[in-house]
Structure 1
Amino acid sequence: METTELTGDGIESVHVWQAYVMCAMTTVMFYILGEILDRLGKPKCVAPEVEFWKWRNITISWIHGVICGTWVFLCLVLYPDLVRDPVAYINNFMYLMVPFSAGYFIYDTIDMKVNKKIGTYWEVTLHHFVIVSSFIYNFNIRSCIGYNVIILMAEINTIFLHMRKLLQMCHVGFDTKLYRFVSLTNIFTFVTCRLIPILRVYSGLYLDFHRVSLTYVITFWWTITTGLVINLILFGRLVKSDILRGFSRKGKQKVDNASGKSIFENGDLNFDKDE
């Protein structure tokens, strides 16, 4: 009886063909968005040292983060039972978010391939591969959608992660209130929306071991572990950049400003895709 109460609208309420349509439409939508940004060009506020492709790529990723992050937040508020039973709980609203994100990750992978960035951002490519594989498998079997929603909580953090990078690209000072707010919110949401959800999925794999196949557990464990390693490396970079070096950077900026030296010359800005 308890399991029935936590199935949401039930598996019959969602359709796989709709998921594939959503995935394809999303890929095309982000391609069109990329073409629009190509025509508009790089904004004047963005530093000339910044590669246009990198600015465009992060901007599109930020837009995906805003859409998906809002979608995830609504899922958690409207359907809190999905966290209690991430295996069986399902409805069309949360179900279609999975192929939506898969479509974006497919677009981003194609974009990196076309622009010959696969080798440069191999860790991002690996992340996209394991995530898309997991998402497509889950929306095909119409199960464990709740786990995908929990994983996509990371997109809430992506809003601030990429906003931080866009501010850097626009020469917004590290010591400004805006940058400090975004930086601290980024650190907070990184822990609460990336790392903690991954731990929830780990515990869920143990608790729901009897409800899914061994193959699925092993595959999903590998997917989550890969994501955890990548996120821990990124978190270490963020803490080092925004917390540990905060005071020294502030002092360094004052010296550089007095001498007329650009913050781009002192090597403080590193435009990695995910840092």
Structure 2
Amino acid sequence: MLSNDVYSVTLDAIKVIAFAVLFKVFSVLLVAYGPVPSNTIAIGKQFRWYNITVSLLHSTITSLGALYCFYLDPDLTSDISKRFTPAAHIISCLSTGYFVYDFTEAIKRKKISSTWEIIIHHTVVIICFGIAVFSRQYVSYVIVALLCEINSVFLHARQLLNLCGFSPSSGVYRFNGILNISTYVLFRICTLAWMTRWIVLHRSSIPQPFQTAGILGMMVMTVINVILFARLLFKDYVSSGATNKPQHSLNNNVVKGKNS
């Protein structure tokens, strides 16, 4: 008979794999039956449309899921290492499954030069989230991290608007841009700052392997998110002001977000 620990890890692994498969199934159905804007077809970006749509689904589910976890347990951050709820754990499994799915999709593209940021980001997230999922510790930390996905909703919406051919001067693009920058500062930059501060203040009580993963993870996330924020500001408020043309080149590299 399997020990309780082995059984628990096996069950959690099945959950993560199951969610990864579900995202793959959704992607396949989207490719087979999902509508694609004519502008996206004209510029040959159908795969990007499908990929961002799946990412938007993940961001919507996990951001709402994270908020729901805080609704169920307002004291979720009172004990980051030990606080555990079934809802928080299943949302963590779902998000980890998504990143496993999207990581494999990035590898399959075989264009490392254009997906290296995604691969690095997803590797770090899978390791950090995986530690929480399988140890059932620091699950609350994952839920805090998933607050970044609130911003990812607008990041992905921005990319879809670009693929649809919306002008940066259009009302809907500008409105999304305001929400995008606002939530980037509030739910991404502030969240990452809080997470970094927590690790620094509690580093003596965190086991060394977890501490190393957490510190390295936050370093990578900080660098990636600073670069992404600079790109957003340049493309939407500097470059677009000069060219007044939609931008299609922002990498799909949020910590999904691609935080998350």
Assess same fold via TM > 0.5: yes
Find 1:28's aligned residue among 21, 35, 45.
21
* Alignment-derived partner of residue 257 in structure 2: none
- Counterparts in 2 of 1:84 and 1:31: CA distance versus 1, 3 Å: same
1:41 CA displacement? 5.6
Find 2:51's aligned residue among 35, 54, 57.
57
3-state SS of 1:119 partner: helix
3-state SS of 1:269 partner: coil
1:43 maps to 2:22: no
Find 2:117's aligned residue among 102, 123, 127.
123
Letter in 2 for 1:177: G
* Alignment-derived partner of residue 205 in structure 1: 199
- Counterparts in 2 of 1:117 and 1:63: CA distance versus 1, 3 Å: farther
CA distance in 2, matches of 1:186, 1:97: 23
3-state SS of 1:272 partner: coil
1:45 CA displacement? 4.0
1:17 CA displacement? 4.0
* Alignment-derived partner of residue 157 in structure 1: 151
CA distance in 1, matches of 2:213, 2:248: 37
Letter in 1 for 2:253: D
Give the alignment's TM-score, normalised by structure 1. Answer: 0.83
Give the alignment's TM-score, normalised by structure 2. Answer: 0.88
CA distance in 2, matches of 1:221, 1:150: 16
Long gaps (5+) in structure 1:
1-11, 254-262
3-state SS of 1:85 partner: coil
3-state SS of 2:114 partner: coil
3-state SS of 1:81 partner: coil
CA distance in 1, matches of 2:147, 2:213: 20
- Counterparts in 2 of 1:73 and 1:46: CA distance versus 1, 3 Å: farther
CA distance in 1, matches of 2:111, 2:71: 37
CA contact (8 A) 1:162 1:274 kept: no
Alignment of 1:219-230 (within 5 A): 219-230=213-224
3-state SS of 2:77 partner: helix
CA distance in 2, matches of 1:142, 1:274: 27
1:168 CA displacement? 0.8
| Bigger Cα displacement from structure 2, 73-82 vs 54-63 | 73-82
1:194 CA displacement? 1.3
Residue identity over aligned pairs, in percent, reads 26
Higher relative contact order (CA 8 A, sep 6+): 2
* Alignment-derived partner of residue 145 in structure 1: 139
1:208 CA displacement? 2.0
* Alignment-derived partner of residue 171 in structure 1: 165
CA contact (8 A) 1:42 1:52 kept: no
* Structure number with larger C-alpha Rg: 1
1:271 CA displacement? 4.6
Cα offsets for 1:235-256 (capped at 9, x unmatched): 000011122345x24xx44xxx
Letter in 2 for 1:29: L
1:98 CA displacement? 1.1
* Alignment-derived partner of residue 81 in structure 1: 75
Letter in 1 for 2:12: A
1:42 CA displacement? 5.2
* Alignment-derived partner of residue 8 in structure 1: none
3-state SS of 2:118 partner: helix
* Alignment-derived partner of residue 258 in structure 2: none
3-state SS of 1:160 partner: helix
The alignment covers a number of residue pairs equal to 248
Cα offsets for 1:166-220 (capped at 9, x unmatched): 0111012212221111111111111111111111111111222232212321221
